Structure formats: C-alpha cells, structure tokens
Amino acid sequence: MTDVTERLAELRELGLHRRTRMVSGPQGPRVVLDGRPVLLLCSNNYLGLADHPRVREAAADAAMRWGVGAGASRLVSGTMTIHRRLEERLAAFEGSEAALLFGSGYLANVGVVSALAGAGSVVFSDELNHASIVDGCRLARADTFVYRHGDVEHLAWGLRNASGRSARLVVTDSVFSMDGDVAPLAEIVELARRHRVRVVVDEAHGTGCVGPGGRGAVHEAGVEDEIDVVIGTLGKALGSYGAYAACDHAMAQLLLNTARPFVYSTAPPPPAVAGALAALELVESEPQRVDRLRANAAALREGLRREGFDVSGSTTQIVPIVVGDPRQAMRMCELAIEDGVFAQAIRPPTVPEGTSRLRLAVMASHRRDELRAAARTLARAALRAGFRPAAAVPAVAAGDGLGRPFDAAAHVAVAAGMDRARDRGAQEGRAHDRSEHDRAGHDRGAHHGGAHDGGAHHGGAHDGGGDGTARAGRARPFDAETDIPRAA
C-alpha cells in the first residue's frame, strides 16, 4: 500500500475516517440527507437566512448586475461598489470606523493575526481557539502563549511574565464553536488595558446570535470600544459566504496593506456580498429572529436535560453532547439519522482526545416542538449506542485539566523555560522545524468555516473548532515549536 492508503486505513481503524454527506435542497431546518428526510441540527445557518427569499433574490440580482466573480484581488481590480456598500453597513452594525471584507473567516483570522504579530512578538491564545487563529500564529512566526480555556488568571500570569516583550496580542473566539460557551471578554479587556496589549476577538459564532440585536458577545459585554479588531463571518448567521474585520480607519489601512490573504486573494464574489448585505438588513429590521434563536436554544437544552444529558456548559445556540469515544459518537450519530435527526459527530483532531461529541446547532427556523422531539430521539440513539445520557459531561469540563484553577506556583518553572526558549532561538537563528511541530499533534488541520467533522460530520467533513491535541502544551508558553494553540 502507498503511504496515502496506509494513512486512510489507520484513520478507519481509529474511528476517525471522514466522508461527506449529500444534502439535497437549501440549508433549512429540514433537509434530505443521502435520500433520507431529517431534521438538520448541525448547520451554522443560525438565523435561517441562507434560503430566505430576500437573500436569494439579492444574490441573483447581483449576479446579473456585477457578474458571478470579482475577477481579481481588491488591490488590483477586484473592489466593486457592492463591496464598499457592505463594508459601510458592517461598520455601522459593529459601531466601528471601518470594516474590511475577506474571502472567508479562516482567511480573516489568518490575515489579521499574522499582520499584527511577527517574529519576536507574543500572541496569547485561548487553548480552544479556532484552527484559523492557530494558523495565523504560525504564519506570523510569533511566540504563542496558550492559556487555559477561559482562565483569566492563567492569561494574567502569562502577560506578567511577558513584560518587556514586543508587540503583544491577545486573541480569542467569543463563542467557542465546539463548546457553546462565551469568552470572559470584560476580564480579558481589563488585562489587556493594564498590560497595554491589543485584543482581537473572533465573533464567527457570535455575530447575529448573541448580544443586543445580534451584534455579538463583544457588545453583550459592553467592550466594543476596547477591542482593536472584531472579526465576523458572513457564512453563518448571515447565511452567505465571506468575513470581515471591524476596526478603526488606521487599522483597516494596515490590514489592507499587510494582511496576506486580503492582498493575494480574489475579492469575494458579488452575489455572496449582496446576499450578506440583504441578510444584514433583515437582522437589523427583524431582531425577533435573534430572540427566536435564543428561545430555541433554551428549549433544546431543556429537552436534553429532561432526557438526562448534562449540557450546562453551553449558553448559546451551540449545544454539545460529549460522548467520549469516537466510534460511540459515530454510532449515536448514525442511529439518530435513522430516526430522522442529523446531529453530526465531532471527533479528534477537531476536539481533544476522549471528548468526541455530537455538536448540536440550533436555528431560529426550527420549531420548539421538533427540538424537544429531537432531544428524545437523541436519548434513544444514545442508549442504543451503549451510552447513558447521564454519563455526558459539560463540554468545557471534558478536557483534562479544564476544570482546575490556574496555580501559578505549579508553573513557576515556565518563566525560566521562556528564557531558555529565547536563548535557543537566538542560537538557532530562530529557524523553525515546522514538521516537528506538526508531528507533535498541534496541526489542527481542519477547520474554521463551518461546523462539520465530516465523516459523519466531523465524522465526515469537519467544523473547525480548535485543535484539541494542542492542550498538552498549555503549560509551556512562548515556544513556537511546541505551543502553537489548538485550532477551530
């Protein structure tokens, strides 16, 4: 066998092989999956706008007016009227001076992080951050301090020990795509202000879903004037494709000139941009959609609790059921599909070893009665797969060490390790063997755009979440070889 077939055989043996599934029709609350009608519980079309008549009509009209493609990079000939119009509306929506469009959420995170950090600088990254943030750190060649998930004490410790280092940056997801919890943004901003560090927040799963009028977790925390760059996506709640960075005018100019994915990529296609603009108008004119999404998420969580699942870690439209074993999670997914519910199984490397799960994603277009019925279906599937609902644990507590508070005394040796890492970097000319890093298991490889682990979701394609395997390195800050954060 070739190395390719051997690798595929290994993935099948581990229960980690993925495949795509065929969905017929638009991304609505119900779809036809591989010829079988199912309730869709794994799409990021949170507000149900991907197939809204006004959004579809706007995209079709734009294709007739501007054509299907933009033809070139924005800096060559790709900037069109529709791009500027959407950027102005996004800036107004976010309450920022400017907004800059990117081709995808992945490209936006890679571009922003690598533009604001570089060799010799330090990026502070939550261990459950998306893969695109991880890859932004790699492209920047910055030293990366991976702090424990949502642990501001660990972050504070890292910031104190990095005093005197150049160009420091804190970057975090707002809503974590595989866990459904929200970053402690107010505390992060306070630390950043104290240590004079920039803050970048990825609102991929927050825009349109949380905060006043769906403006995101940054607005919900009341820190919108304290964030240097807010990254939002057009491909989830806004039902289209693409992303944006909201910031002040000077930052927008810096990104326009230095963010490589912006400089070297063809501009987003006019139909997708026009569709996103129509969706944004709907979010602003019909705020009840956001309220309905929240009510539906609460209904699903309550239904799952009644069936014995512990979903206390989620506070948003993302509700994970942590199973543990990847094969068992896949079996549960398949059995649920047989009963008419498609809830994708998410497996490593998208989530940490031992935390394979079903990631449930609620839409505003779901009915509450069908969500309650889905909870009952999932409970039956769990029992048939040999998993007791009561055995589920909150996603944020499922990883080793996530529940323990940070103990500075236990990590004092890390500061010395930082100095050794810097000395080693100087001696080696800061040359990095990236292949060694990837072999360490931190290459998240999948991710950001949607939520799908493929095979059976993640079991089939994969949503990007963070790179679960990177947690092993969270106690070793400032070593780019071993501490690049998890992806997703």
Is residue 257 a contact partner of residue 75, using CB atoms and an 8 Å limit? no
Q: Which member of 83, 219, 236, 411 is catalytic?
A: 236
Contact present, 469 and 441 (Cβ < 8 Å): yes
Q: How far apart are CA 442 and CA 80, in angstroms?
A: 39
Phi and psi (nearest 5°) for 394?
Answer: -55, 140
CA 96 to chain CA centroid, nearest Å:
22
> Which member of 83, 130, 205, 442 is catalytic?
205
Query: Nearest 5 degrees, angle CA 137-CA 133-CA 453?
Result: 130
Active site residue 236: yes
Whether 205 is catalytic is yes
What residue has token string 């989620």?
314
Cβ-count burial 278-316 (b if 16+ within 10 Å, e if not): bbbebbeeeeebbebbbebbbbbbebbeebebbbebbbb
First to last CA, the chain: 32
Torsion of CA 299, 300, 306, 309, to 10 degrees: -150
β partners of residue 36: 33
Dihedral angle over CA of 426, 427, 429, 434, nearest 10: -100
Of 104, 121, 125, 177, the catalytic one is 177
Residues with catalytic function: 177, 205, 236
